[in-house]
Structure 1
Amino acid sequence: MKIGIMRTKTALILSVCIISLGIIQPIQAQSPAKTVTLQAVEDSFLVKNYLLLAQRYQIDASKALTRQAKLWNNPSFSTVLGFGSTDKVQPFKVGSGGETQYTIDQLIQLAGKRNKNIQIAAAATRMNEATFDELVRTLRLQLRENFYTLYYRRQTGKVLKEQLENLQRIVDAYVAADKKGSVAHADLVRLQALQVGIENDYADLKQEELEAQKNLQQLLHSQDFYEAVVTGTDLAPYRLDHIQLSPLLDSVAINRPDVRIASVEYQTAELNYRLQKSMAVPDLHVGATYDKKGSYIDNFIGLTLGIDLPVWNRNQGNIRAAKLQIGAEKQQLQQQQSIAQTEVLNAYQRIVALEKRYKSFDLHRFQDEFDTLIAEVAKNFSKGNISLLQFIDYFNSYSDNAKNINKFLSNRVNAYEELNYATGQELFKN
């Protein structure tokens, strides 16, 4: 009789715990995490990331070099101060009866060398600007991927944590019942094995969440912990309705920073080739001279002209090398354009494939129906209509469903961000 009463109490305890599995509300854990939106994270990123700040200095430095290239060469000045003669040395005899000579000389670059150097310096500025844009493009993708990874992993973690809390109540009840001999010990072992498996999944999930958290902290150079907030409004722009593939492929030459870098390198090679050809033309030295007593008349003044004679060195090697460099940079540019178009095509096709799955069924409705199903399963298990093995199978399916749905949603939004990255544009904005 006592055994029957004990079994009845145990059944009631299990029924309450199991039914709560389907209807219990998630427990809100206290967390010191800082709640942030994607926009807030990006605003902080643009002003705090050290790599971006360093590259901005590079841009300013290259602009300073462009200004430097516009400056003329300084004139040179030389003097001869009389020291008498070999018969009678008279140091610094420059006064009455002494000798003094002054010469000033200005280098004048011919064949447009100065303008070509200015153009090359300006190209270096464009290169640094494109490098900055490429750095922003790369780091922004990392920032957004880690932000969304953090959000969706945490959503999955909430489900698993709730499952673990509910499962712990069931295991505790089974442990108490096992001590009294009212349940099979093998059933307790199966439940504990299920618990260990979900705890391992939860630990792996928290590790992925911490990795995303660490990456965000490094990008923002902060020690704060973040809790990502994503709303339906944030996700609404992620759709292909207004996007056409052909214009995206054609626009990579303009919008992709890495393609612009390759283009500037090609332009710089052409500018350098023209500069090297102009270097074969000697520069002109123009100046004036004054000679107090060393010429055929006193106080002699004269115009000085000088030019190198291009007899041996006509810059042949540099001209040849610069011409070959043009060919190399042209091939690099074509290669980069091809890579960019391939990346755009692959990113677009990936979204198309994901959208087919996304639109084939309502994930949120499916999740709600699965929540109802697991509650019904719990009730039927408490009534003895479902075996423990069947219950464990449904329990595992519920956890797997939560993980798979959030992983799919994370992959979907990251696929759109990869298309942003591939095109070098912000295609999906509110």
Structure 2
Amino acid sequence: MRTIRMLFLTACISGLGYIQHVQAQITSQPVTLQAVEDSFLTKNYLLLAQRYQVDASKALIRQAKMWNNPSFSTVLGFGSTNNFKPFNVGAGGETQYNLDQLIQLAGKRNKTIQLAAAAAKMSEANFDELVRTLRLQLRENFYNVYYQQQSETVLKEQLDNLQKIVDAYVTADKKGSVAHADLVRLQALQVGIENDFADLKQQELESQKNLQQLLHTSVFYEARLQPADLASYNLDKIQLQPLLDSVAQNRPDVRMADMQYQTAQLNYRLQKSMAVPDLHVGATYDKQGSYTPNFVGLTLGIDLPTWNRNQGNIRAAQLQIGSEQQQLLQQQSIAQSEVLNAYQRILALEKRYKGFDLHQFQGEFDTLIAEVAKNFSKGNISLLQFIDYFNSYSDNAKNINKFLSNRVNAYEELNYATGQELFKN
């Protein structure tokens, strides 16, 4: 049993050591949040594609302003059934030319231009919504990488210190000066912390992958933050009610719902104008087919709205207004509830954050664990106490950095919920 347990522990430690060796071969590029965001705005393919959509929708405004092309037709004489002469257009032959221009009445052209302009605004709001969503993902993953790497640094230092103690116990065990069971307990502690480190590394790699996908790169990043970068994350100058009142103007998804509502109203007016027939104005020339040679005349034409007065489209457009209005109210309600939830989450986290100084606590805990290791080496504390302290230290490091990550991401979620940059330095 002892041999099996030793082989298992040795295999676990060797395997985790190999993982660390492979990971050590991956070089990381130091980067700040500002540098990541600058790269994101110029390299993200979804943003670049949406920019083309915005430009394309603006081009359609220009197209809507264009007049309809005139229509031209001609009649070329082929003689008669008694005297068939193909293309008899010379002396004694017949030629006729017709020119026709469609003139839209009831303001159809202007209403079409307004619809195209509304579609362009919708495309711009869609771009802003994409930026809002992807920026939240970018910042959350950046902060996750930073705090995960902070936890990894602590665990790595812990493992280095523990390795020295284990090495000393291995030497002492060979001499028979320590109980072998104590060495096994220390190695089990080492495996547990190695597993924690490996799990944390997997979480970081997931965050790294998300960053790489957003920035379309294969670079691994070493996130860099200064205390000044986080100083603006507070609610000192933020009031809830103005945030709730401003979502209609600042949130792109609410603006999109509002544009859908306005578009429905514009379409209703356009459909009503479609009930008014358009006017055809033109000119005609007839060489010899009229009562007088070289006849020239003005042509006027209009459809008679006898049966089709666009009744169905008008009714459908009218009902669509009601539908879009309800969806706008729904989106406004969703936006306000998200703002309220994000704000309340920050209040809850800040209450814990201000309850005690996490950084001071971490520093004191670092000092404590160093003293524990020193006293354990001198035999002043038992092995079980040492293991308990080490496990507590590992959990403390992970929990503090997880809490700090949750806190800053909560502020970013409030940015997202309001559609604003509330916490700029």
Alignment TM class, shorter chain as reference: over 0.9
Q: Are residues 1:317 and 2:312 paired?
A: yes
Equivalents in 2 of 1:377, 1:60: separation in Å?
A: 65
Report the CA distance between 1:179 and its aligned residue: 2.3
Q: Are residues 1:96 and 2:91 paired?
A: yes
Q: Which residue of 2 aligns with 1:173?
A: 168
Deviations 1:111-133 (A, max 9, x none): 11111110110011001000000
Q: Are residues 1:294 and 2:289 paired?
A: yes
Q: Which residue of 2 aligns with 1:395?
A: 390
Q: Which residue of 2 aligns with 1:277?
A: 272
Equivalents in 2 of 1:245, 1:169: separation in Å?
A: 54
Question: Alignment partner for residue 47 of structure 2, among 28, 49, 52?
Answer: 52
Amino acid at match of 1:422: A
Q: Which residue of 1 aligns with 2:189?
A: 194
Amino acid at match of 1:313: N
Question: Alignment partner for residue 335 of structure 2, among 328, 332, 340?
Answer: 340
Question: Alignment partner for residue 153 of structure 2, among 147, 151, 158?
Answer: 158
Report the CA distance between 1:381 and its aligned residue: 2.4
Amino acid at match of 2:157: E
The alignment partner of 1:242 has SS state of coil
Equivalents in 2 of 1:379, 1:226: separation in Å?
A: 35
Equivalents in 2 of 1:66, 1:155: separation in Å?
A: 52
Q: Which residue of 2 aligns with 1:32?
A: 27
Q: Which residue of 1 aligns with 2:123?
A: 128
Report the CA distance between 1:300 and its aligned residue: 0.9
Q: Are residues 1:377 and 2:372 paired?
A: yes
Question: Alignment partner for residue 232 of structure 1, among 201, 219, 227?
Answer: 227
Amino acid at match of 1:157: E
Equivalents in 2 of 1:428, 1:30: separation in Å?
A: 37
Q: Which residue of 1 aligns with 2:412?
A: 417
The alignment partner of 2:354 has SS state of helix
Deviations 1:360-403 (A, max 9, x none): 11111111111121122223323433211111001111111111
Amino acid at match of 1:241: D
Q: Which residue of 1 aligns with 2:5?
A: none
- Count residues with an aligned counterpart: 402
Amino acid at match of 2:239: Q
Amino acid at match of 2:63: Q
Report the CA distance between 1:30 and its aligned residue: 8.3
Q: Are residues 1:328 and 2:293 paired?
A: no
Report the CA distance between 1:166 and its aligned residue: 1.2
Amino acid at match of 1:177: A
Report the CA distance between 1:47 and its aligned residue: 0.7
Deviations 1:190-237 (A, max 9, x none): 111111111111001111111111111111111111111000110011
Q: Which residue of 2 aligns with 1:64?
A: 59
Q: Which residue of 2 aligns with 1:8?
A: none
Amino acid at match of 1:417: E
Q: Which residue of 2 aligns with 1:183?
A: 178
Equivalents in 1 of 2:344, 2:286: separation in Å?
A: 81
Amino acid at match of 1:87: N
Q: Are residues 1:361 and 2:356 paired?
A: yes
Q: Which residue of 1 aligns with 2:248?
A: 253
Equivalents in 2 of 1:31, 1:155: separation in Å?
A: 17
- Tell me which moved more, 177-186 or 412-421: 177-186
Q: Are residues 1:305 and 2:300 paired?
A: yes
- Tell me which moved more, 220-229 or 238-247: 220-229
The alignment partner of 1:237 has SS state of coil
The alignment partner of 1:360 has SS state of coil
Equivalents in 1 of 2:116, 2:374: separation in Å?
A: 76
User: After TM superposition, what 4+ stretches of structure 1 lie above 6 angstroms from structure 2?
Assistant: none
Identity of aligned residues (%): 83
Equivalents in 1 of 2:374, 2:39: separation in Å?
A: 49
Q: Which residue of 2 aligns with 1:4?
A: none
Amino acid at match of 2:148: R
Report the CA distance between 1:184 and its aligned residue: 1.5
Q: Which residue of 2 aligns with 1:76?
A: 71
Q: Which residue of 1 aligns with 2:3?
A: none
Q: Quick one: structure 1 residues 84 and 31, their matched pair in 2 at CA, closer, same or farther if it must change by over 3 Å? A: closer
Equivalents in 2 of 1:323, 1:88: separation in Å?
A: 60
Question: Structure 2 length as normaliser, TM-score?
Answer: 0.93
Q: Let me know the Cα RMSD of the aligned residues.
A: 1.1
Q: Which residue of 2 aligns with 1:139?
A: 134
Q: Which residue of 2 aligns with 1:428?
A: 423
Q: Quick one: structure 1 residues 234 and 30, their matched pair in 2 at CA, closer, same or farther if it must change by over 3 Å? A: farther
Which structure is higher in RCO with an 8 Å CA cutoff and minimum separation 6? Answer: 1
Q: Are residues 1:149 and 2:151 paired?
A: no
Equivalents in 2 of 1:50, 1:314: separation in Å?
A: 46
Q: Which residue of 2 aligns with 1:85?
A: 80
The alignment partner of 1:80 has SS state of strand
- Tell me which moved more, 368-377 or 278-287: 368-377
